[in-house]
Structure 1
């Protein structure tokens, strides 16, 4: 069994593909036995968190609510999930793609797209992140074998370096605005297709992405982890830069509660991982 502490060495071609396109698929990041054990822990944690929230029936939710069940930052409360999130194996991939030695966890989130769940609108993750860096990315790993019709991610290749596009939170409006922009600019839309449990895609913070509906009768269980390069600073004096939107204010309060704008993003919820030591 591949150990979570065993680093995964990437070829320069894979790193170059990520930096060119803003996304890359890597197979067998985690083997089947290990991902199944982690899946059980994650699923148990998700069910525990779900039991504490009032969840409307699917047909009564808005577009965002229909897109997925989003259960955030499980690692601080569930030790078995923390073993998955803190894995040096995953962090080693993130560090190589970001061309850095050390990374910090921003947060994790389970993203379960229910049977007949709706589309995930086009969006930029980094719209929500108050971090002064481009060295930040997300791993999206299915915990079960998934097919394209279950809602694997769509990426707009080449958008990893487009930067902040304005106050466009994930919504019906972002789907319209960003879809039209991709067509106008001629960005190639890529879906990496069917994936086995333990395969993963990695995408940069600015890379435009979304997902289609889950057209199957099976829950699309996926886990995501976000890392950024160590010694990253929180956006300084954000009110004067026009980049301090509501999403970033909320993220600042949630994921960096013990830090202030302009300080280093090294709070108690952002553990350092040195995968090559």
Structure 2
């Protein structure tokens, strides 16, 4: 256990600016994702990772055997809006450092929280099929971004996130939910259009940011340890709610946007501004 005097050091790290290199912004703009090393220290990941894991165990309701699960259920345990369950998780989710990086990469003036989610791929967990996150979000602008934070070093056998470079610029497969079909259809189409795939391990402290319309997937976890990941989804602070286009967006409008009116900014208590210049 980290002693209380060190807790202030961890909080300072979470809220200290991270200098985003110009080339990282250029990479994000062109490829729809970027990986950044040494964003968080081992001490921060150990301390907050243990708290996040406790909440995942407490809140998880997916307990049926792996062989009885759907492809989506085999991909990961998914627990959302942990910041509302625990004050220390909230410290992590509300990190100004992580929100500032999102702001810089999207080249906006500030970001709101859409929601957080823990994604824990259990040992023998299956693939995460190809998909684009913004299919699920009733948001008008593509100025959305997810930070993907492995809470441990993540070698290839644990199923790190992989990205189709530049795929945020094309409107293929934007009406496909995550499924066996999305894996098959998008894999074929992304190969046909010659999108390079970045599929590489994550060092401890390395994180990725990807745009809402960037196609991504993850391999299975063939290791004997869970692949523990925490994510936060941010949106431009000036983002606008649009008319939902599918049943998932209707559900998201209620769950994560407090049923904000179409055409308005989602500015309820669920969507605080986490960083602004």
TM-score category, normalised to shorter length: over 0.9
Measured at CA, do residues 144 and 275 of structure 1 come closer, stay the same or move farther in structure 2, by a change above 3 Å? farther
Per the alignment, in what secondary structure is the counterpart of residue 192 of structure 2? helix
Q: Does 1:65 align with 2:73?
A: yes
Measured at CA, do residues 270 and 163 of structure 1 come closer, stay the same or move farther in structure 2, by a change above 3 Å? farther
Q: Does 1:259 align with 2:247?
A: no
Mapping of residues 13-28 of structure 1, within 5 Å: 13-28=23-38
Query: How far apart, CA to CA, are the structure 2 residues paired with 1:6 and 1:264?
Result: 27
Measured at CA, do residues 15 and 256 of structure 1 come closer, stay the same or move farther in structure 2, by a change above 3 Å? same
Match of 1:92 in 2: 100
Per the alignment, in what secondary structure is the counterpart of residue 274 of structure 1? strand
Deviation at 1:156, TM superposition (A): 0.4
Q: Does 1:132 align with 2:140?
A: yes
Mapping of residues 82-231 of structure 1, within 5 Å: 82-163=90-171, 165-191=173-199, 193-231=200-238
Contact kept? 1:127, 1:164, Cα under 8 Å: no
Match of 1:31 among 37, 41, 52: 41
Runs of 5+ consecutive residues of structure 2 not aligned to the other structure: 1-8
Runs of 5+ consecutive residues of structure 1 not aligned to the other structure: none
Runs of 4+ in 1 over 6 A off after TM superposition: none
Measured at CA, do residues 164 and 132 of structure 1 come closer, stay the same or move farther in structure 2, by a change above 3 Å? farther
Contact kept? 1:131, 1:265, Cα under 8 Å: no
Contact kept? 1:88, 1:275, Cα under 8 Å: no
Query: How far apart, CA to CA, are the structure 2 residues paired with 1:275 and 1:83?
Result: 17
1:31-66 Cα offsets, whole Å, 9 max, x none, are 00111101011011111112xx25211111010000
Contact kept? 1:114, 1:218, Cα under 8 Å: yes
Query: How far apart, CA to CA, are the structure 2 residues paired with 1:79 and 1:267?
Result: 19
Per the alignment, in what secondary structure is the counterpart of residue 100 of structure 1? coil
Query: How far apart, CA to CA, are the structure 2 residues paired with 1:257 and 1:113?
Result: 29
Query: How far apart, CA to CA, are the structure 1 residues paired with 2:109 and 2:18?
Result: 14
1:220-262 Cα offsets, whole Å, 9 max, x none, are 0000110011121101xx3xxxx61111111111101241222
Contact kept? 1:89, 1:275, Cα under 8 Å: no
Match of 1:247 in 2: 248
Contact kept? 1:164, 1:206, Cα under 8 Å: no
In the alignment of these two chains, the number of paired residues is 267
Contact kept? 1:19, 1:160, Cα under 8 Å: no
Contact kept? 1:138, 1:204, Cα under 8 Å: yes
Query: How far apart, CA to CA, are the structure 2 residues paired with 1:177 and 1:54?
Result: 27
Per the alignment, in what secondary structure is the counterpart of residue 47 of structure 1? helix
Q: Does 1:11 align with 2:28?
A: no
Contact kept? 2:253, 2:259, Cα under 8 Å: no
